[in-house]
Amino acid sequence: MGFILAAAGVLSALFLPLSSEAVATLSARPILLALTLAAALLFAASAWTGGSRAIALGFAGVLCGAATPLVLLRDPGIGGSAAAGFWALVLAVWLGAGLCVVELASQRPRGDGARRALNLAVPLLFGAVVFYLWEVLVRGFGVPPVLMPSPSAAAIRFVSSLPILGQDFVQTFVRGVLIGYVIGCGAGLLVAIVAQRFSFLGRGLLPLGNFFSALPLVGVAPIMVMWFGFDWPSKAAVVALVTFFPMLVNALAGLSASGHMERDLMRSYGADYWQTLMKLDLPAALPFIFNALKINATLALIGAIVAEFFGTPTQGIGFRISTEAGRMAIDMVWAEIALAAIAGMAFYGLVALAERATTFWHPSYRT
């Protein structure tokens, strides 16, 4: 029934005014008229049928209906002063897309691959709808780009300033984050191994590590900038400090995860300390270590960006964000955020992939 409402909404756009200014109506634009009529027909058809065919028809209708507002927005008489007809169209498309997502999510496919594809498709569709609404709302209401740029503007800015973004990426991510991440996680792991060997140290370090990992450690950024200068070493130092304690706490918990039976077995093999460490304790600790690596992946990026607020050479993601925000070039800020988001997700994804490859034996991956 929702699809019938959507079809009615699309049709009502033909009669309601598109803009508060005088512009040509939909019926005067043959291609757009065909698109809207097609959308209305497809919605009606999908209301008629049911099941998976309704989803396909509805999806085609959404595509037809969604194209029209985007084309309409190129008309200077509509962008910024859109009126009831325009919004009826957008709402109808939104409704249709929402129904498609709902129908799609309630499907229960048989095959393993189909289920995985569905689990990927539903959030992607949802995200696409959100981005589309953002674009149409910002441009339809004519929100000043200083407040909130449309995603397309940010994307254009992203593509057109790739060299600057590449520079910032190398400065912040390759130099600051990666080096600090390796140092911090490596040191945390080493200290955890030593602390596990000497239980007195372990009993002292665990509560302290818990305490420190709850502190707002990014606050040391100004001190690190004072000690190590404006360039990347100070950022790497902040990242190392921020990532050290989560790794210490998790690795300590992981190193004591192996059971008595396994330890006894190693002893009956006559394994010495190093053999036990390499063959039993470290592999058993891997899930915990990867947990820390994943937590640290986000912490590291945050630490580096925040440290850049306290002083940088004239490049870096944090530097660019704060200066461009000061100059009200918000589209550039969003481009930098997109860069940081992509870098952060790729980093996290790589760690997760490495986890799958090395801890394939863990119960959480065996289905």
Partner 1 sequence: MTSNAFVIPASAAGALRHHPLVVRYAPIVTIVLALIAIWYIAAVMMNLSLVRGGFEREETPYAVSELIAGTMSAERPLLPAPHQVIAAFVDSVFGYAPTAPRSLVYHSTVTLSATLLGFVLGALFGIGLALMIVHSRVLEKSLLPWIICSQMVPILALAPIFIVVLGAIGLQGLLPKSIISAYLCFFPITIGMVKGFTAPDPMQLDLMRTWSATPRQVLAKLRWPAAVPYLFASLKVAITISLIGAIVAELPTGAEAGIGARLLAGSYYGQTIQIWAALLASAILASGLIGLVDLTERGVARQMGIRP
By beta-carbon proximity to partner 1, the closer residue of 80 and 222 is 222
Return the residue of 155, 156, 187, 201 that touches partner 1, per CB under 8 A. 201
**Binding window for partner 1 (CB under 8 A); candidates: 19-27, 161-169, 196-204, 268-276:** 196-204
Residues 81-110 within binding reach of partner 1 (CB under 8 A) = 101-102, 105-106
Return the residue of 207, 229, 259, 313 that touches partner 1, per CB under 8 A. 207
Q: Binding of partner 1 at residue 1 (CB under 8 A)?
A: no
Residues 287-316 within binding reach of partner 1 (CB under 8 A) = 297-298, 301-302, 305-306, 309-311
Least Å distance between CB 65 and partner 1?
Answer: 20
Least Å distance between CB 298 and partner 1?
Answer: 6
Q: Binding of partner 1 at residue 286 (CB under 8 A)?
A: no
Q: Hey, how many other C-beta atoms are within 10 angstroms of the C-beta on 70?
A: 13
Cα radius of gyration (the chain): 28
CA 3/CA 210 separation, integer angstroms: 54
Tokens of 315: 């490049």
By beta-carbon proximity to partner 1, the closer residue of 327 and 366 is 327
Q: Hey, how many other C-beta atoms are within 10 angstroms of the C-beta on 349?
A: 11
Burial of 94 (0-12, 13-18, 19+ CB in 10 A): buried
Return the residue of 50, 76, 109, 127 that touches partner 1, per CB under 8 A. 127
Least Å distance between CB 239 and partner 1?
Answer: 12
Q: Binding of partner 1 at residue 114 (CB under 8 A)?
A: no
Least Å distance between CB 56 and partner 1?
Answer: 18
Under 8 Å CB-to-CB from 318, ≥6 apart: which residues? 172, 304, 305, 306, 307, 308, 309, 312
**Binding window for partner 1 (CB under 8 A); candidates: 22-30, 146-154, 267-275, 353-361:** 146-154
CA 173/CA 232 separation, integer angstroms: 10
Q: Binding of partner 1 at residue 57 (CB under 8 A)?
A: no
Q: Which residues of 184-215 are buried (b: 16+ CB within 10 A; e: fewer)?
A: bbebbbebbbebbeeeeebeebbeebeebbee
DSSP 76: T
Q: Give the binding site for partner 1 (CB under 8 A).
A: 101-102, 105-106, 119, 122-123, 125-127, 146-148, 200-205, 207-208, 211, 214-216, 218-223, 225-227, 297-298, 301-302, 305-306, 309-311, 317-318, 321-322, 325, 328, 330, 333-334, 336-337, 340-341, 344-345, 347-348
